[in-house]
Amino acid sequence: MLTIERLGQRGAGVAQIDGRKVFVPHAIPGDTIRAEIAGDSGRIVDVIAASPDREAPFCPYYGTCGGCAIQGYRETAYREWKRGLVADALARAGVNAAVESLSDAHGEGRRRAAFHARIDSAGQSHVGFMQARSHELVAIDFCPLFAPSLQAAVPAARGIAEELATLRKPLDILVTATLSGLDVDIRGAGALGERDTQNLIAAAERLDLARISDHKHLIVERRPAQLRVGRALVHLPPGAFLQATEKGEATLAALVMEAAANATRIADLFCGIGTFALRLAERAEIVAIDGDMAALDALSQAARGTPTLRPVKTERRDLMRRPLALQELAPFDAVIFDPPRAGAEAQAQALAMSYVPLAIAVSCNSQTFARDAAILVSGGYTPERITPVDQFRQSSHVEIVSIFRREAAKRQRRSFLSG
């Protein structure tokens, strides 16, 4: 028998056996279970005594599908676990800072999903999500976490997979709900021949898709794949990154806008399609920097097409290899950085030596966020507000918005600029 003490960082229950940790997926803190153990992993055989925090999962695929790390965990306990992911990471990094309560940003649900498609020995296609820590596919007919605008995504992905079944290749099919319908980007097919291309064009018509692309290469666009960002209308590049839920994007943007309310010249680093830049340009001078030229072009086009916005200057740059240096940072009174999961260690180090009075960190990884926060704190910044945001419900992923200030930097910056 095992007693589950807590949830780990990936959502598995943690128990102790002879002084070593064992991680048991789908177990709830407070459960007493019988489990099969292999190394440091376990599998529930029977729940002998259920935790008072255990509730019935809401999805019939839970337990096989790897899309959700945890279901059936009482809401208040779940929220504290997710907040704790951020607080614990900061503590381990030596950052003494209060973490606010978890902000629920699921809203209507996910507006984008990445499906896996596999072809069996009989040539039949199957579409769904992978089992956790497995190469086995779980075929699904629906997902209760999807927004209404994404409900047709499963049949759309299935239809695409059927058209390409003769390739006999494992595919990833990214489906995004846009204002003009579903946008599909296929990965893993390789260069497509004329017959497959024509089949996909016909499938787009039959499935009423806005657009299909093959690894960001346009196959057919029946309607522009567009989303509204603030007042701007953005024509999404094929396969573009955007926040998983509409409310998630709005929540992150509201926190950033509030933090930068008094800034007049702002650098938006890792800006993507302009989630923050296009909103901030309503009242501030923005320099938006990213390594993705297609995203920058979409941002620029949207900014130019929105008369109420101030001009947005864009720059293509690999900020991981070449972060903004001291002199480049000096003109800004606020810097926003929203890097991928690897974080922005090099840019945080440059900021730590800069005179920028306000740094706003947005992150999707509590570990790399804590590392970067520790760098800023060591350089003299004070964490003013740290807000965990939950747009990936039932997963171990958490978004974070944090505000770092240092008052002395204002005087140093003025002196540097007048230099």
pTM of this structure: 0.94
**Among residues 378, 274, 287, 284, which one has the least CA distance to residue 329?**
287
364 is catalytic: yes
> Is residue 13 within 8 Å of 54, Cβ to Cβ?
no
Query: Given this model, what pLDDT does residue 279 score?
Result: 98
Burial class (CB in 10 A: 0-12, 13-18, 19+), 74: middle
Query: Given this model, what pLDDT does residue 410 score?
Result: 55
Query: Given this model, what pLDDT does residue 123 score?
Result: 86
- Reported residue count of the chain is 419
Exactly one of 65, 143, 271, 364 is catalytic; name it: 364
* Phi, psi dihedral angles at 289 (to 5 degrees): -130, 135
Residues in contact with 30: Cβ distance below 8 Å, sequence separation at least 6, in sequence order = 3, 4, 50, 51, 52, 53, 54
Query: Given this model, what pLDDT does residue 413 score?
Result: 53
Quote the CA–CA distance of 108 and 22 in Å, as a whole number.
Answer: 35
Query: Given this model, what pLDDT does residue 135 score?
Result: 85
Query: Given this model, what pLDDT does residue 409 score?
Result: 56
Q: Which residues of 328-345 are buried (b: 16+ CB within 10 A; e: fewer)?
A: ebbebbbbbbbbeeebbe
**Among residues 230, 335, 336, which one has the least CA distance to residue 275?**
230
Residue bearing tokens 């701007």? 232
When computed from its CA atoms, the radius of gyration of the chain, rounded to whole angstroms, is: 23
Quote the CA–CA distance of 29 and 11 in Å, as a whole number.
Answer: 11
> Could you tell me the domains of the chain?
1-54 (2.40.50.140), 83-106+242-418 (3.40.50.150), 112-223 (2.40.50.1070)
- Measured in whole angstroms, the distance separating CA 153 from the mean position of its chain's CA atoms is 19
Query: Given this model, what pLDDT does residue 117 score?
Result: 96
pLDDT in tens, the chain (419 residues): 899 999 999 999 999 998 899 999 999 999 999 999 999 999 999 999 999 999 999 999 999 999 999 999 999 999 999 999 999 999 999 999 999 999 999 999 999 999 999 998 888 899 999 987 788 999 999 999 999 999 999 999 999 999 999 999 999 999 999 999 999 999 999 999 999 999 999 999 999 999 999 999 999 999 999 999 999 999 999 999 999 999 999 999 999 999 999 999 999 999 999 999 999 999 999 999 999 999 999 999 999 999 999 999 999 999 999 999 999 999 999 999 999 999 999 999 999 999 999 999 999 999 999 999 999 999 999 999 999 999 999 999 999 999 999 976 555 555 555 55
Quote the CA–CA distance of 47 and 56 in Å, as a whole number.
Answer: 13
